[in-house]
Structure 1
């Protein structure tokens, strides 16, 4: 039976061939004589205690081999396409606390790799490959500004190492998904969409924001097998919805939801290292006020305009401007703005005390929205030659949201 990655009955079985195909794609972009070496993630303790954070594997390492365990290394010989997994050599006492020790043969079978050795053998095995150069991973994450962790092991200084070639190649490959990867993403977005719908049915004034978060987490894990979410859940209600990354330790989704609040819930499950990222915005009591509808539909129309415009070759800044124009036109119709939309685009970061910018705002109407919070709509989509396939399936129009929250689970 072919090896696969899954969380048991009812969850998606991810074939290990998905990761083998990723390796093949990488080999095609590199040269014989090069050996890729990646270091997996390490378990992290809670400060000075013997308790550890729930382990999550490093993303590039996952992409290449799908290995879940911590403390591993992985090597890929470009010339032969052979894969080498290196696992920690754990003491026998490990079994008392952590369960059965898997052998190298067990790991080879689980992850469908060519060879498995212990980490303390990595120098010897790599020397046997006689590489011209080891390619290690080092490059910036443009969201966080942090740098990918470069592989380091005892004896690496005896090899010629290049840490510049690999990162741009592997980062670009991760942007273009294979059919197998797309199936995993469809699954995790479906699970996350269903979890958001459960939250919409549960949410109401009088609940704490974190109680809504717990419904999302429960569905993703209990139904979808997603042990992890892709980021800290953002469950903002009322004015909190205007804080982009609400939900952090200083504001842990801890407000009481009030009548009349808009809810902005930004949450996504994670399965086999593949992430969903979905935001739903809706009124806590299930019925939009005219002002809430105005703001919500401005964002929805922008979303729709971007989905209509997105194609291979379209630049991100162009889609950004498409979204801005759609929102500004709608807000102008709703009386919040006045004047020429193209002029507004040039002065989008408007300030009330700047006469050149202030002239576009109808401040009597705008001030009515003070404390409103915010609206965000996020979907996970696949860009194809013919347009966009939206993996996200949640109520989106005002009518859909109101009907779903009133009548329950007919939205499928």
Structure 2
């Protein structure tokens, strides 16, 4: 991007193509070709403007790194040779868009020898004479949406197989290369610094949208991150109990869930802190209960451990701490069995992270299926066994959501564990979430996130201390 930002090497994408070919080659017919279609710009309803700054489709980005819309990419499985197909614009486009780039320009830009115009795709593929075109088609287990399968005029003249590629490439995306890890570290560090800036910016009288703006400005102005990975969740006071909140009003105690995006790679960090700079006794109680859950997972997670078991561990830790704080009573294991954890944390512990904020590969064939017990674990976006090179979020939370509290108090099985008068004190409290982006290594977990986490660290940072700690 610019001075001080990270240069993403073209080898990152070339390596991903080689990994894909190595995965596909053993069981595919000779002369098979992988075909991926990039994203297209989306018009703003019926206007001639686009909805947003274009961001490339993630599978295509993973393999080719091309950031322009309207592209295709092909990989010869037998040789690994790559072909990039770019839009062929009329000369008049140069009036509005500047000098038009040639295939040779794109070849130099992306390190791909074979670059053609997209209107030549049928002719080029015909010369290559593939035995089969392997296209991408599968259902995203988070959204329920089906990936866009490559299509072009003349594809009906080729044999097409869309049953193989999705599971293979989605699984490869779960495990990050060293080059990908460096980009992930950069975007997480940029997002961390932006969060730290917001923590000091947020003051009584300032609005949530102003805090969001401060985050966005830092990520783009300093980190070169033109995109964010999802709509910022900038929630103050009772809004912090709304899991996917937009923005409005003015801050009290604040939950900010925000992450930058750099060349497609996502960060996803949540910080919760008191705008006053000092935790009240109740804020400290709930915050430290969530932090205990976060740290319990951080200490236990390692290769070979079930992510679903980590979800249960976080819930058990949270309920134990709430019991110590006087909100709950009774046996914690019985609380988990009854489903009480989902009353206070209705979302999953965390998710895979990469080119999508809720990255792919969570529930693939031959991987652990989605669990249904205890209540709430079905919201977990993956139940995979942890392995080296996975990057995930650890994001336990505790929220006081009226509709869920009312349900629990009215349910004899759940209400036996509640202390109603203490629960009443926390009505309108909002919520706390602590979200870190972590890398699974041979030794365990490496936290990529660099923000104040303990009560003391947060209070010191907001008081203007500890600048040297994060340099």
- Report the TM-score range of the alignment, normalised by the length of the smaller protein: over 0.9
After TM superposition, the runs of 4+ consecutive aligned structure 1 residues lying more than 6 A away are none
TM-score normalised by L of structure 1: 0.95
Aligned to 1:267: 258
Superposed CA offset, 1:67-98 (max 9, x none)? 01000000011111000000111011111111
State how 1:55-66 maps to structure 2 within 5 Å: 55-66=54-65
Aligned to 1:41: 39
Aligned to 1:276: 267
Aligned to 2:48: 50
Aligned to 2:298: 307
Give how far 1:204 is off.
Answer: 1.3
Unpaired runs of 5+ in structure 1? 1-6, 248-252
- How far apart in 2 are the matches of 1:198 and 1:231? 19
Give how far 1:50 is off.
Answer: 2.0
1:329 aligns with 2:320: yes
Aligned to 2:435: 378
Give how far 1:375 is off.
Answer: 0.6
Aligned to 1:203: 202
- How far apart in 1 are the matches of 2:73 and 2:121? 9
Greater Cα offset, 46-55 or 384-393: 46-55
Give how far 1:131 is off.
Answer: 1.1
Aligned to 1:241: 240
- How far apart in 2 are the matches of 1:410 and 1:12? 22
Aligned to 2:178: 179
Give how far 1:410 is off.
Answer: 4.1
Superposed CA offset, 1:258-308 (max 9, x none)? xxx220100000001110000000111111111001111111110001111
State how 1:331-346 maps to structure 2 within 5 Å: 331-346=322-337
- How far apart in 2 are the matches of 1:114 and 1:310? 43
DSSP-derived class of the 2:5 partner = coil
- How far apart in 1 are the matches of 2:446 and 2:119? 46
TM-score normalised by L of structure 2: 0.83
State how 1:8-407 maps to structure 2 within 5 Å: 8-31=2-25, 32-52=30-50, 53-247=52-246, 253-257=247-251, 261-349=252-340, 351-407=408-464
- How far apart in 2 are the matches of 1:64 and 1:167? 13
DSSP-derived class of the 1:407 partner = coil
- How far apart in 1 are the matches of 2:262 and 2:18? 22
DSSP-derived class of the 1:14 partner = coil
Superposed CA offset, 1:12-57 (max 9, x none)? 0111000000000000011242211111111112112222121110
- How far apart in 2 are the matches of 1:162 and 1:317? 33
Superposed CA offset, 1:175-201 (max 9, x none)? 000000000000000000000000001
- How far apart in 1 are the matches of 2:432 and 2:331? 24
